[in-house]
Amino acid sequence: MSEQPVHQCQCPICQATAEHSVKELHSQMNLYLSRLDEQQRRWYAALEAKKIGHGGTKQIALVTGLHVNTIRRGRRELEEGLASRTVGRIRSPGGGRLSAEKNT
């Protein structure tokens, strides 16, 4: 497994030298994003952008280094209830029992 480099936020606050609480938040957002896979990154960024509201997508693109179109795609996918995204492998019926369960 290769380690993802953590993106450095490019927003004006993080670029400035003054201390700001937002800096820690942005660096932790990027740290978190570095541990997610591609689609999870997209959805997380989409949620953060939605929280900001107007201009959120551009703002989050700056913070995360993701492309605005990537974030827009994430927002669209979330709005569709991730219908186009299947959840891993679907377990076969009856195959879910733990083998540790014993009948004695």
Q: What is the rounded radius of gyration, in angstroms, for the C-alpha atoms of the chain?
A: 19
By CB under 5 A, residue 25 contacts Zn ion? no
Give how far the C-alpha of residue 104 lies from the chain's centroid of Cα atoms, to the nearest Å: 46
Interface segment toward Zn ion; rule CB under 5 A; list 12-20, 65-73, 75-83, 92-100 = 12-20
Contact call for residue 9 and Zn ion (CB under 5 A) = yes
Output phi, psi for 53, to 5 deg.
Answer: 85, -135
Is there binding between residue 26 and Zn ion (CB under 5 A)?
A: yes
| Residue numbers at the binding site for Zn ion (CB under 5 A) | 9, 11, 14, 26
